[in-house]
Structure 1
């Protein structure tokens, strides 16, 4: 196995920077959905059209992902990531300047054109610098960006909107994005070793990747994961407020009052705060479980949890269960599914394929998300009297079907990865053994890498 030169930065620094970048990227997308009721009121947008706003970002990200799969492997990943992040920041700021549905959709399209490739590059960097045996934990760290966006990003954004209007969160995210992008430019090392492998084909694009069995299985798994979740996610804020009559957690206001704080938080902010904390705790366990038991076993657990919450919250709503419990259950189930699926994504491509593969996955993720989010606009019907949504049970059943397909695809793919890696290991052993035996010289062990340093590997 070829071992490349070390990079002058620790794995932990790289992983934390990527997590911060993912935080901005995820928050930029996540704040749109809980602001749905504000869009419906302030911009006079129909509540069943909120999915289209989310779909605009993801459709643009899908197009950018397809284009990026042909050229992202040709550039230093650090520079490419910086360009994409600055484009994302501009699109986010423009969303705050929108005045109707078309202008808001246009701003989200700009953000998506840069946000999609930024996600692909971020995951490719993690796969480049973290050895296979530690990728489960590394990916769980990167995925804490989702929980932190829920714990801090979304609640703070909602409180900012509560105090200063719905435009303010977009400006805040854009400003924070500039700071994180600047930090990544100065702290990330040059990431060019994938260019020196000698086997990077020009234009190794998505269409070549999708013809291979393992990437195809990974793409199908991602499609199932996204569809089962985003058939319902864009509509949850409106479902809570307009269907279930959720008005917030009164006990939080009482608790603040008991300590002398006279403040009523936003309706949805505490939900995302508590749900995000729960997801963060779950992540710490799921990352280690994935490293120990494999992606397939953990994904079946996630499927069982997902089917359960889809049934009791959307298909056969149990009014006796509090909305806070149901929301936390939902976020926990999504977390359990996400870590094994993303860990598998780091194992499927070889080193020279990683950026192209991640671009393919980004395109698959965002195109599927756009379709799933837009699907709700065709299935759901708005009640003109109170803006409530009719048809959530149908979306719940769609979520159940795809939740079961996800671990099926992951199981087949994981078996394929093990078999391929075994063949590659045997081939490496034969390549080393043959010339050594012919020359009659003893084999020498490779020099161990410095502890804690980042090492790029060609095949793992």
Structure 2
């Protein structure tokens, strides 16, 4: 529901339930994508994949997610958002089960495509729900809580996933995610109310006409570009993280869960703080500060030689604090761009471009980084860091443009009130 913007309104009990469900849902979706990275070294060795093959395995999810998001964008504002969420989350769970049943590179690739077709739409539907049910002065805190799913997946999900993989095979990691997904699906069905107020505002009868009107809006295009560039760096850095730690830094497979646990712990600490700051201070300045910290830490990280475990943990913690300090203000600013009648389509297109851009990033990373043998150090990882630094600088400029649009929109809304 739309409300007149106020000073950080308190959440209702139903809003708290919605935040909890969306956070848990995001936990499984993020974990499904992120667990590929720490399993990367195991998967490349078990399924006999090259770095380029693994880049395609990661990007397969992203490309299919992007395509499905674009196809669904025209329909995103034509249905009850709860029903859309149930449909796509069910497909995501089925796709994750297929991943668990994979026995070769090709079957894993196909399973990731199926999972991406459904999983790629979930994030945009969730964002549309947040934008419908929470006013702009609440969204920073909401996004802070929901983005904590990222940290929780690092603290609990990835270490547990790695523990399962080390003890019962990598397939068990995906079975764990699917099992948790079933429980969350039940919660969505039983606890979430219908979200259909946007249906009263529809002007375009054709879903494709609605998609075209959203795509051709020049203000929306700036938001699309900013989110796409924001995702490229993460997709380039993450897929080869575990292989870099194992083969270059000489961290053992048994020590990997500790690295991800403490990294997630730092993110869990910073997310609520960034969420609160995002509702009180300049979102762009917060984003720019996190970006500069990210650039510095990425350049340090990608040029590392073998160091003690505690040092790599500290560097990872600071690096991801910088990365996640960018995500909340950027996502919050992006939700303020579309009109209510376009939110579902806008979020779907934005999520799709994010996935497609990330998929391109993962493919390029797979070609930049080389590995002569399955246990040899990764080569050109430092070059990857320099490329990510340049992309991060470009994202600062684009988010500045988004910030200017949001300021203009808020000023126009105040004039109408007067």
TM category, shorter: over 0.9
Please point out which of 369, 373, 390 is paired with 1:384. Answer: 373
CA apart distance, 1:316: 6.2
Q: Shift of residue 94 of structure 1?
A: 0.5
1:284 — aligned with what? 272
TM-aligned CA deviation for residue 409 of structure 1: 1.2
Cα RMSD between the aligned structures?
A: 2.1
| In 2: Cα distance, 1:200 partner to 1:80 partner | 19
- What do residues 248-298 of structure 1 show as CA deviations (whole Å, max 9, x unaligned)? 6xxxxxxxxxxxxxxxxx331111111111001111211111111122100
Q: Is the 8 A contact 1:315 1:397 kept in 2?
A: no
Alpha carbons of structure 1 residues 138 and 3: separation in structure 2 relative to 1, 3 Å: closer
Q: Assess if the C-alpha contact under 8 Å between 2:62 and 2:359 holds in 1.
A: yes
Which structure has the larger Rg over C-alpha atoms?
A: 1
After the TM superposition, which of the residue ranges 193-202 and 328-337 deviates more from structure 2?
193-202
Q: Could you state the TM-score of these two structures normalised by the residue count of structure 2?
A: 0.93
Report the Cα offset of residue 386 of structure 1: 2.8
How far, CA to CA, are the matches of 1:364 and 1:304 in structure 2?
24
Asked if 1:210 is matched to 2:215, the reply is yes
- Is 1:303 the counterpart of 2:303? The answer is no
Q: Quote the offset at 1:242 in angstroms.
A: 0.9
Residue 392 (structure 1) shift: 0.8
Give runs of aligned pairs for residues 220-239 of structure 1, distance below 5 A. 220-239=225-244
**1:97 and 2:101 aligned:** yes
Alignment counterpart, residue 141 of structure 1, candidates 142, 145, 156 = 145
> Does residue 343 of structure 2 align to residue 354 of structure 1?
yes
Report the counterpart of residue 7 of structure 2 in structure 1.
none
Q: Kindly indicate whether residue 246 of structure 2 is the aligned counterpart of residue 241 of structure 1.
A: yes
Question: Is 1:67–2:71 an aligned residue pair?
Answer: yes
Q: 1:422 to 1:50 in 2, by over 3 A?
A: same
Deviation of residue 247 (structure 1)?
A: 2.2
Q: Does 1:324 align with 2:313?
A: yes
Q: How far did 1:317 drift?
A: 5.4
Q: Which residue of 2 aligns with 1:270?
A: 258
Counterpart secondary structure, 1:72:
coil
| Structural mapping, 1:13-92, within 5 Å | 13-92=17-96
Q: Which runs of 5+ in 2 are unaligned?
A: 5-10
Q: How far does residue 9 in structure 1 lie from its aligned partner after superposition?
A: 5.8
Give yes or no for the alignment of 1:115 onto 2:104: no
**TM-aligned CA distance change 1:168 to 1:281, over 3 Å:** same
Q: Does 1:402 align with 2:391?
A: yes
Matched with 1:457 is none
Contact 1:200–1:352 (Cα < 8 Å) also in 2: no
| Equivalent in the alignment of 1:195 | 199
What's 2:135 paired with? 131
Q: Which residue of structure 2 aligns with residue 455 of structure 1?
A: none
Is the CA contact 2:82–2:194 (under 8 Å) kept in the aligned structure 1? yes
Does the CA contact (< 8 Å) of 2:247 and 2:377 recur in 1? yes
Distance 1:39 1:14, change over 3 A: same
2-structure distance, mates of 1:23, 1:219 = 24
Specify the SS of the correspondent of 2:302: helix
Question: Residue 103 of structure 2: SS of its match in structure 1?
Answer: coil
* Aligned match for 1:344, one of 333, 336, 340: 333
Q: Which moves more between the two structures, 39-48 or 87-96? A: 39-48
For residues 384 and 149 of structure 1, the distance between their equivalents in structure 2, rounded to whole angstroms, comes to 30
Partners of 1:138 and 1:398 in 2: CA distance? 32
Are the structure 2 counterparts of residues 273 and 3 from structure 1 closer, same or farther at C-alpha, using a change threshold of 3 Å? closer
Separation in 1, partners of 2:365, 2:331? 25
Return the offset for 1:11: 1.3
Contact 1:206 1:359 in 2 (8 A): no
Please report how far the alpha carbon of residue 2 of structure 1 lies from its aligned counterpart in structure 2 after TM superposition.
7.2
Deviation at 1:177, TM superposition (A): 0.4
Cα distance, 1:200 vs. partner?
Answer: 5.7
Distance in structure 2 (CA, Å) of the matches to 1:303 and 1:390: 25
Deviates further, 301-310 or 405-414: 405-414
Give the secondary-structure state (helix, strand or coil) at the position aligned to 2:74. coil
CA distance in 2, matches of 1:274, 1:293: 28
Matched-pair contact (CA < 8 Å) for 1:299–1:406 = no
CA distance in 1, matches of 2:185, 2:23: 12
